Amino acid sequence: MTQIKVLGPGCPKCKSTYSNAQEAVKQSGVEAEVIKVDDIQEMLKYNVLTTPVLMIDEEIKIKGRVAQVREIIELLKK
């Protein structure tokens, strides 16, 4: 199963990215788990300074901006 992580402290951009990730999974039909990571210590493990961050299977795909539903669907197809 694909794993999607959204890293962010809970700002509006982070919440939007999380919602968009959930919607992308629903629309794409891909079997994926969407996880919200808002613990600062956990985020530091990934060495990212700008949020939100969208990760798919532990690989950073988008950071520092809201990931759009269409973008996430395209990333899930790869």
Residues that are catalytic: 11, 14
Q: Which helix (H) or strand (E) is 62 found in, with range?
A: strand 59-63
Residue 60 CA to residue 46 CA, distance in Å, equals 9
Residue 71 CA to residue 18 CA, distance in Å, equals 13
